[in-house]
Amino acid sequence: MKALVIATLLAVSATGAPPVRILIAYHSQTGNTEKLAAAVRDGAAAVAGVEVVLRKVGEATSDDIVKADGLVVGTPVHWGNLSADTKSFLDRVGVALGLGKASPTLGEGRTAGVFCTAGEAAGGQDTARLSVIAALLHMRFVIIGGVSGGGFGVIGPQAVTSSPAGVSDNARTEARRFGERFARLTKQLRSGAEK
């Protein structure tokens, strides 16, 4: 962790630009979504000039949300949808970014992505991720998806945790790959906005 902070500071001092900030906020009941969140963080942190903040949705502050150039949301699947805690967090994102103000900018110019875990293969992963994406699109975020091992675009990483039990190595690899892609594209978008 100390090496990551030093690398980020060196990258900032070399370019003079502040680091791109990515908030990864997740809800985890069994620890599986947290494991996937850690893999997304590892991928994002591998990109120079990126600062990653990893928080449980209940611990993410309004300041964390406002300072984030990119937001990645992780949720377990509950009855084919996102968890209630994740939904509450999305509501807080809207408030923090200006919902209810005279001229809200919300997520304008910011990126967002989503990942999830489910106990079964047909557990509603797509509908849960699409629900999060719909909320983020309403808030004017630019959505970034992932890329499968075969090179095809995907909504975002997922893990089926029942068989084998827990988060598989393949799911972690996909999550790390997504985190790196998310950070790289967020950095590109932010540097284009600064010109």
- In whole angstroms, what is the distance from residue 117 CA to residue 120 CA? 9
Q: What is the pLDDT of residue 195?
A: 45
User: 47: which 2 tokens?
Assistant: 């990109």
Q: What is the pLDDT of residue 14?
A: 52
- In whole angstroms, what is the distance from residue 67 CA to residue 52 CA? 11
Q: 73 forms bridges with which residues in the sheet?
A: 25, 114
Q: Domains in the chain, please, with CATH?
A: 2-194 (3.40.50.360)
How many of the other CB atoms lie within 10 Å of CB of 95?
13
Condensed to tens digits (0 to 9), the pLDDT of residues 45-58 reads 999 999 999 999 99
Q: Distance from CA of residue 100 to its chain's centroid?
A: 24
Q: What is the pLDDT of residue 194?
A: 56
Condensed to tens digits (0 to 9), the pLDDT of residues 90-103 reads 999 999 998 777 66
Which residues of the chain fall short of a pLDDT of 70?
Answer: 1-15, 102-103, 193-195
Q: What is the pLDDT of residue 148?
A: 87
